[in-house]
């Protein structure tokens, strides 16, 4: 099978999503470890925070560039965001070099938030800078009239506003759970008697990332899907998510403290603050998107159905003559 340029860019977006999931998970974990610290870490950790924001910003811009609503917006996205990304990556990379030179950081590999810090984040900044420069270059040499696939927004302005607020939040939570999904493999207690309980949480944490992967690669491909077909897809996704949630709820009922015993390292802030948000966040993140998709499609199909007895509603020419 011949890979198209768009497929290659989708693969790159998927790899970037995996990288950002690890980055965002590490960031939230590091913030949890700093809660209660006597000294503010802002000055010392500034390059790190800039790197995290730059990587996630690149992920969002890449998505917009892959699924543009129209040609004008695509060109504007590439130009403006490309320049911002290039400048952001350059600033963060230069700050890391300065911190190494003035011994704020002891070396390019000193550990701390990761075993290779700050070298790994320096390389990440270079990636952000390079991709940003590429986006800007593509924006300024933008060939108008070229054959592209666009994805115009088809819903109301109110729904668009809500989507612009809640979709980024959903992606951020999905990034965190995806990062936890991968890190769990390395820290899991495989000899625990409650391994099957932890398996339920592990599977549930993988649902948001898998949902986004399917949506990007297979569903949102520029083709028109009949509403009935989309409804069936949403129903299958809803039933699959409901199965994982049901399995997870059974695990909690059988062993209420298994998350505390086996997953404290994955949700540091939640346990430090005693919020107990993990079951709710994991459940809602898995079940809400397919549920909302199914309900909205179901309602739209019901509203769009024509009357079954057309002859009773409107007389035909034959009956009118009679």
pLDDT string in tens for the chain (322-residue length): 456 778 888 898 999 999 999 999 999 988 876 665 556 677 888 999 999 999 999 999 999 999 988 888 999 999 999 999 999 999 999 999 999 999 999 999 998 888 899 999 999 999 999 999 999 999 999 887 667 777 777 777 777 788 888 899 999 999 999 999 999 998 888 888 889 999 999 999 999 999 999 988 888 876 777 888 889 999 999 999 999 999 999 999 999 888 888 888 889 888 777 778 888 999 999 999 999 989 988 888 888 754 333 333 334 433 333 3
Give residue 190's Cα distance to chain centre: 28
According to the model, what pLDDT value does residue 33 have? 65
DSSP 3-state of 118: strand
What pLDDT, on a 0 to 100 scale, did the predictor assign at position 310? 36
pLDDT value of residue 164: 85
Buried b (16+ CB within 10 A) or exposed e, 191-213: eeebeebbebbbbbbbbbbbbbb
Per-residue exposure over 35-56, b if at least 16 CB sit within 10 Å of its own CB, e if not = eeeeeeeeeebebbebbbebbb
Of 74, 236, 262, the closest CA to residue 184 belongs to 262
First to last CA, the chain: 63
> CA–CA separation, 231 vs 225, rounded Å?
10
CA-CA-CA-CA torsion for 188, 189, 194, 195, nearest 10 degrees? 50
Pair 176, 28: CB distance under 8 Å:
yes
pLDDT, residue 157, reads: 75
Between the alpha carbon of residue 318 and those of residues 6, 12, 39, 321, 322, the distances in Å are 55, 62, 88, 5, 6
Cβ atoms of 84 and 130 within 8 Å: the answer is no
Candidates 103, 98, 101, 96; CA nearest to 118 is: 96
CB atoms closer than 10 angstroms to residue 7: 12
DSSP 265: G
pLDDT of the residue at 276: 82
pLDDT of residue 284: 93
């Amino acid at each position: 099978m011949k890979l198209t340029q768009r497929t290659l860019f989708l693969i790159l977006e998927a790899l970037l999503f995996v990288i950002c999931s690890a980055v965002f998970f590490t960031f939230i974990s590091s913030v949890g470890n700093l809660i209660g610290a006597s000294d503010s870490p802002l000055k010392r950790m500034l390059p790190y925070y800039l790197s995290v924001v730059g990587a996630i910003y690149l992920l969002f811009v890449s998505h917009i560039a892959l699924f543009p609503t129209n040609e004008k917006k695509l060109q504007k996205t590439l130009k403006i965001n490309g320049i911002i990304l290039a400048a952001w990556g350059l600033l963060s990379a230069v700050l890391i070099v300065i911190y190494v030179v003035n011994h704020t950081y002891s070396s390019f590999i000193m550990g701390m938030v990761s075993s290779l810090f700050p070298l790994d984040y320096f390389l990440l900044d270079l990636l952000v800078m390079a991709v940003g420069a590429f986006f800007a270059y593509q924006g300024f040499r933008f060939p108008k009239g070229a054959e592209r696939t666009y994805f115009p927004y088809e819903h109301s302005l109110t729904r668009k506003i809500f989507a612009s607020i809640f979709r980024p939040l959903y992606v951020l939570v999905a990034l965190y759970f995806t990062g936890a999904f991968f890190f769990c493999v390395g820290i899991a207690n495989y000899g625990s008697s409650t391994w099957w309980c932890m398996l339920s949480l592990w599977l549930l944490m993988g649902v948001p990332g898998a949902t986004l992967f399917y949506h990007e690669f297979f569903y949102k491909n520029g083709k028109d899907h009949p509403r009935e077909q989309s409804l069936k897809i949403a129903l299958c996704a809803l039933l699959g998510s409901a199965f994982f949630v049901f399995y997870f709820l059974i695990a909690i009922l059988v062993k209420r403290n298994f998350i505390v015993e086996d997953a404290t390292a994955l949700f540091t802030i939640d346990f430090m603050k005693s919020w107990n948000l993990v079951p709710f966040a994991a459940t809602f993140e898995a079940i809400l998107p397919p549920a909302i998709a199914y309900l909205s499609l179901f309602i739209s199909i019901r509203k769009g159905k024509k009357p079954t007895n057309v002859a009773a509603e409107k007389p035909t020419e034959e009956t009118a003559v009679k």
